[in-house]
Amino acid sequence: MRHVLSALVQNVPGVLSHVSGMLASRGYNIDSLAVGETENPELSRMTFVVMGDDRVLDQVRKQLEKLVTVVNVEDISAQDYVERDLMLLRVKAAKGIQRSEIRELVDIFRGKIVDVGPDEIMIELSGRESKLEAFIDRMRPYGITQLGRTGRIALVRGGQVQTDSLEARLPAETHE
């Protein structure tokens, strides 16, 4: 089973390596990990995608919650949430018909051409994992020369997050 975990962590040096190292040392495989600063510059949000049954999920949560730098961990998989992945892809593109076909596919997938070279085009695309995978499949015949992805980020829809219990766990200086 696929689980999406969202962890609010203190934005301090080494927290990413500490969290990922702790999970790796216990044998948990992370399918996707993305981290970035939140609206509060003292906090970062880590979004993990892990595979496993409920026992694995429970152990991952317990291990994360033991870390001093982790403020809150939430399994958002069972809630209504929005999930996105960002991808930059470079594909071979000779002049003419090939570029037109690629441009049409980029438009259909609501992507953006962000760089054009003499023999290649760089494309930006965001969306659900399945959308990005489908786009990659459409680009393979043209010759993908380079690909980079962010990993999944996710937030619960419509204010379903309970902030009252969260504020109780925040370090005093972040919510005064």
What is the domain-level CATH number for residue 58?
Answer: 3.30.70.260
Q: Is the pLDDT of residue 164 over 50?
A: no
Same domain, 92 and 162: no
What pTM value is reported for the model? 0.77
Give CA–CA dist 43/70, Å, rounded. Answer: 10
Give CA–CA dist 33/20, Å, rounded. Answer: 9
- Number of structural domains (the chain) is 2
Q: How confident is the model at residue 52 (pLDDT cuts 50, 70, 90)?
A: confident
Q: Residue 132 belongs to what domain range?
A: 82-153
Q: Which pLDDT does position 63 carry in this prediction?
A: 86
Q: Which pLDDT does position 24 carry in this prediction?
A: 85
Could you list the beta-strand ranges (E) of the chain.
2-10, 30-37, 43-51, 70-75, 81-92, 112-116, 120-127, 144-149, 153-156
| Average pLDDT value over all residues in the chain | 88
Across the strands, what pairs with 20? none
Same domain, 26 and 61: yes
